[in-house]
Amino acid sequence: MNINYGWKFYKGDEPKASYRGFDDSDWRAVTVPHDWSVEYDFDKSYASATGYLCGGIGWYRKSFDFPFDITDKRVYITFEGIYNNSRIWCNSNNLGNRPNGYSTFTMDITDFVENKNNIISVKVEHSDLADSRWFTGSGIYRNVYLTITDNIHFDMDDVYVKTSSINKSEAVVEADIAISNNKVKDANILLKTTIVNSESNEVIEESLSAIGDSKTIKTIHMKVNNPILWSTYNPFLYQLHSEIILDGKVIDDIDIDFGIRDFRFDSSKGFYLNDENIKLKGVCLHHDAGCLGAAATEVIWKRRLEKLKKMGCNAIRTSHNPVAPFFLELCDKMGFLVIEEAFDEWEGIKNKWWQGHNVYPPKHFGYGKDFPVWGETDIKSMILRDRNHPSIIMWSIGNEIDYPNDPYCHPYFKMMEGNNDSNKPKEEMQYDPNKPKANRLKSISKRLCRYVKECDTTRPVTAALAFPELSNLVGYSDQLDVVGYNYKENLYDEHHKEYPDRVLYGSENSKTTEQWMVVENNDFICGQFLWTGVDYLGEALGWPIRVSPTGFLDTAGFEKSNYYQRMSLWSAEPVLHITTMKSTDFKQEKLEDLSGDNEHWNWNLHEKIQVICTTNCRKVELFFNDISLGVKNLEDYPNHYIDWEVEYKPGVLEAVGKTIDGKQYRTELKTVSSPNKIKMNPLSTILNADGQDISQIEIYIYDKDNNIVSYSDNEITLDIDGECEFLGMENGCCDDLTPYRSKTRKTNNGRLIAYIRPSITPGKIYVTASSKGLESDKIEIQVK
């Protein structure tokens, strides 16, 4: 039972708020997922690492009744994620705490609840602003559920569905099904299990005794005839349905979506999915979504993932923490391969930048202080929660834990090259015997790998290494089944020869074409994961920059120009995209991660402009006002940016691309007139009246001829009428310090996006977008 709606929130500390009878009538009503950080102004006094947004202490309270009598029932509450240092009370009873802001946890509240007038109180203490190297958000930023069961019920942590064997005609599905009996007495039950969308229609019925006050795990094997294999291009999901029957009555049932697939890693040939050798075309992703902060829901990420899929991406590394369950469900349905990562630091705390990225001195807060006590619990809870997802192919135990002097140190650093930021103080660039010894990496990683294997033996363990030279030396690499290299492409060949049995891949990489071709042309490299798929808050260079602009999509989820270049490398679909920039600027560009180009043809008369066509077509001919400027061959432009220098005058640029099979494709870029009107594009005009749905409204500036004016930065103001909550507007601009809850914001590249959440009341929402001197637009959204 989802209980996201109807919470009360107070920003600040109120020790008595844990009491059941506390008066919270003057607290603000909120719906979770909720991130209070993005509700406040950007401030230079906060940390650059976390996007110059606040943390602090916050309290949540939720009152609830049960829709039926809960006598002789079990009741559990599940929080999918609270950032961070949360402590929970039920009817004044202290249930415990969870420091990790990314962990999902469930608490048994059976002994503390009544049929009516129950209160859950949650204290969130995110006082250490620089406790992360990226934006985390603050608050109950994921879903909250109540689960009500009989005393005999399924134990979801120990329900595990996997495929024990596969061939073309048959697959054998193995399901470990856990049943808890919270009664003192044993009970004879019937366990009935089937795969509901299988040709076989096999139903397994098992009579067994559920031992009192204990857990029983029953392993069932079921055949699936002519299995449809889950893949990146056909992510077919089966569903296992199981029922517990007591005295002829179903007392509990579960549905588990799963995929039938086989994968393996080979040290010479790379990665295979269902015996097909494929490259991992991956991106790394943080969890925030611009003005929504960490409280980004399924519909938000669905839009983003659809665009990454279209770009040719087939894999995701969750950087650097467990993700929301809905995210993995999307990956299952959309056909993404996932590396789920557990930690960014272990027992040592990394540098946290608060005055700008790599600006000394750093601060030292973080999860490292909790890892010795909570590390085992946190990594196991991630795996037990997520191991039924077919999208997951590896578990990562850590990101750049071996980064030099941050915090682990070794005498080898005296001889090292690279891995050091040029602006580090001298003492930070050499061996420091006072820092934790890097030899600890072996013993800790060995322990973490054991924890993983205790939960799942079907997937390899990996880690993203910043300094594999050192990790090889101290034995860290040897603990891993598959070794990830962060920005160490220069070591691929050398280490493949030195460690021929090692499976390796790029766990974090820059976006250069050259580095992709290394992957493409070497069978032993499984793939790469580019930093990053989407721009993210935090890890900022310094005020007023508050965003790391490293993605293919901006924080509003719009495509950046480098999106099309990567699409031209990764996608089989023809790509033809025109951008322009001043020729003087173009000559200074490296053209590997093009960032200074523009999607418009509006310049000063006679100005020298570089016209850049991003493409994977074999040949491209550029026309300007119907006059050919010549044909150019892709083979002469290995980075897939074909360019022409053109003297500007108004008109139309048209690129005509020809693929290897002779087919032609066209695209154009034309001079537009001045901004004239606003047009809104709601991605859905019908929303659910559940208090959870979100309307995503793309807003564009057009000229009088209905062309998007992509150079415009007009200020847009929204007027909203209806039962709903305005969540913010995002334009993707890295240094825009307009508060996220403002209903007025400038466009960036002629566009922005607005988010509105309806209430639980059916009706209509009217949204009007206006700007001085422009024709306004009004839309209607139905809430049902």
DSSP, residue by residue, 579-639: EEEEHHHHTT--SSS--S-BS-----TT-EEEEEEEE-SSEEEEEETTEEEEEEEGGG-TT
The token pair that represents 470 in the structure block:
């050192």
- Point out the domain boundary residue: 608, 640, 670: 670
Residue 430, pLDDT score: 75
**CB-neighbour burial class of residue 618 (10 A; exposed 0-12, middle 13-18, buried 19+):** middle
Q: Which residues contact 777 (CB under 8 A, 6 or more apart)?
A: 677, 678, 679, 680, 768, 769
What is the tens place of the pLDDT at every residue in 73-106? 999 999 999 999 999 999 999 999 999 999 999 9
Among the listed residues 199, 166, 278, the one whose alpha carbon sits nearest the alpha carbon of residue 232: 278
Per-residue pLDDT band at 438 (split at 50, 70, 90): very high
Pair 323, 346: CB distance under 8 Å: no
Rounded Cα–Cα distance for residues 355 and 693 (Å): 37
* Coil/strand/helix, residue 305: helix
Residue 344, pLDDT score: 98
Q: Which residues are registered as beta bridge partners of 627?
A: 624
> Residue 526: how many CB atoms within 10 A of its CB?
29
**Rounded to the nearest 10 degrees, what angle do helices 371-386 and 440-455 cross at?**
30
Residue 330, pLDDT score: 99
Q: Maximum CA pair distance of the chain?
A: 90
Rounded Cα–Cα distance for residues 215 and 158 (Å): 10
Rounded Cα–Cα distance for residues 111 and 96 (Å): 14
- Point out the domain boundary residue: 639, 670, 701: 670
- Regarding whether 606 and 487 lie in a shared domain, the answer is no
Lay out the sheet containing 724-730: strands in order across. 677-682, 695-702, 751-758, 724-730
The token pair that represents 764 in the structure block:
């209509």
Find where tokens 């070591």 sit.
491
Residue 404, pLDDT score: 84
Residue 199, pLDDT score: 75
- Regarding whether 160 and 301 lie in a shared domain, the answer is no
Among the listed residues 705, 716, 714, the one whose alpha carbon sits nearest the alpha carbon of residue 767: 716
User: Does a structural domain hold residue 452?
Assistant: yes
Pair 386, 327: CB distance under 8 Å: no
- Regarding whether 56 and 14 lie in a shared domain, the answer is yes
Distance of CA 661 to the CA centre of its chain: 37
| Cα angle 684, 686, 688; round to 5 | 115
User: Does a structural domain hold residue 557?
Assistant: no
Residue 417, pLDDT score: 55
Among the listed residues 719, 710, 706, the one whose alpha carbon sits nearest the alpha carbon of residue 754: 719
DSSP code at position 648: -
- Point out the domain boundary residue: 615, 636, 670: 670
Rounded Cα–Cα distance for residues 703 and 713 (Å): 13
- pTM of whole model > 0.95? yes
| Cα angle 379, 383, 385; round to 5 | 115
- Regarding whether 281 and 224 lie in a shared domain, the answer is no
Residue 53 pLDDT more than 80? yes
Find where tokens 């609270």 sit.
82
What is the tens place of the pLDDT at every residue in 426-435? 777 778 888 8
- Regarding whether 342 and 295 lie in a shared domain, the answer is yes
- Report how many domains make up the chain: 5
| Cα angle 364, 369, 375; round to 5 | 135
User: Does a structural domain hold residue 37?
Assistant: yes
Q: Which residues are registered as beta bridge partners of 754?
A: 697, 729
Per DSSP, the residues of 203-268 read EEEEEEEE-TTEEEEEEEEEEEESPPPP-SS----EEEEEEEEETTEEEEEEEEEE----EEEETT
332: left (phi over 0), alpha (psi -120 to 50) or beta: alpha
| Cα angle 10, 295, 746; round to 5 | 100
Find where tokens 């401030």 sit.
43
**CB-neighbour burial class of residue 140 (10 A; exposed 0-12, middle 13-18, buried 19+):** buried
Residue 414 pLDDT more than 90? no
Pair 273, 261: CB distance under 8 Å: yes
Residue 669, pLDDT score: 98
Rounded Cα–Cα distance for residues 259 and 694 (Å): 29
User: Does a structural domain hold residue 692?
Assistant: yes
* Coil/strand/helix, residue 490: helix
The CATH number of the domain holding residue 126 is 2.60.120.260
User: In this predicted structure, which of 222-226, 620-624, 767-771 has the lowest mean pLDDT?
Assistant: 222-226
> Residue 612: how many CB atoms within 10 A of its CB?
25
The CATH number of the domain holding residue 755 is 2.60.40.10
User: Does a structural domain hold residue 683?
Assistant: yes
User: Does a structural domain hold residue 213?
Assistant: yes
CA distances from 195 to 51, 174, 175, 238 (A): 47, 11, 11, 7
What is the tens place of the pLDDT at every residue in 642-651? 999 999 999 9
Pair 750, 681: CB distance under 8 Å: no
Segment (H or E) for 125: strand 118-126
Residue 597, pLDDT score: 80
- Regarding whether 166 and 137 lie in a shared domain, the answer is no
Size of the chain in residues: 784
- Regarding whether 469 and 334 lie in a shared domain, the answer is yes
**CB-neighbour burial class of residue 423 (10 A; exposed 0-12, middle 13-18, buried 19+):** exposed
Q: Which residues are registered as beta bridge partners of 553?
A: 534, 559
- Regarding whether 138 and 126 lie in a shared domain, the answer is yes
Residue 422, pLDDT score: 61
The token pair that represents 592 in the structure block:
């590997």
- Regarding whether 242 and 181 lie in a shared domain, the answer is yes
Across 701-727, average pLDDT: 97
Residue 776 pLDDT more than 80? yes
Rounded Cα–Cα distance for residues 673 and 670 (Å): 10
CA dihedral 637, 638, 640, 643 (to 10 degrees): -20
φ, ψ for residue 327, nearest 5 deg? -65, -45
> Residue 6: how many CB atoms within 10 A of its CB?
14
- Regarding whether 136 and 159 lie in a shared domain, the answer is no
| Residue type present at position 743 | K
- Mean pLDDT in the chain? 95
What is the tens place of the pLDDT at every residue in 458-468? 999 999 999 99
The token pair that represents 80 in the structure block:
């999918």
Across 193-200, average pLDDT: 84
The CATH number of the domain holding residue 402 is 3.20.20.80
Rounded Cα–Cα distance for residues 588 and 582 (Å): 10
Cis bond leading into 84, ω under 30°?
yes
Rounded Cα–Cα distance for residues 353 and 40 (Å): 21
| Residue type present at position 715 | E
| Residue type present at position 378 | D
Pair 331, 298: CB distance under 8 Å: no
Q: Which residues contact 61 (CB under 8 A, 6 or more apart)?
A: 7, 8, 17, 22, 24, 27, 119, 120, 121, 122
Rounded Cα–Cα distance for residues 491 and 466 (Å): 12
Rounded Cα–Cα distance for residues 33 and 294 (Å): 8
Residue 649, pLDDT score: 98
Residue 421, pLDDT score: 60
Residue 593 pLDDT more than 70? no
- Regarding whether 502 and 356 lie in a shared domain, the answer is yes
Find where tokens 């809430």 sit.
783
Across 612-641, average pLDDT: 96
Residue 115, pLDDT score: 95
Pair 137, 294: CB distance under 8 Å: yes
Pair 285, 318: CB distance under 8 Å: yes
Residue 682 pLDDT more than 70? yes
Per DSSP, the residues of 17-38 read GGSTT---TTSEEE-SS--GGG
User: Does a structural domain hold residue 1?
Assistant: no
User: Does a structural domain hold residue 553?
Assistant: no
User: In this predicted structure, which of 55-69, 100-114, 350-364, 688-702 has the lowest mean pLDDT?
Assistant: 350-364
Give residue 462's domain range: 265-548
Residue 154, pLDDT score: 97
Residue 416 pLDDT more than 60? no
Per DSSP, the residues of 79-117 read ES-EESSEEEEETTEEEEEE--TT--EEEE-GGG--SS-
CA distances from 117 to 32, 106, 536 (A): 20, 21, 41
- Regarding whether 185 and 109 lie in a shared domain, the answer is no
282: left (phi over 0), alpha (psi -120 to 50) or beta: beta
Residue 589, pLDDT score: 59
Residue 433, pLDDT score: 84
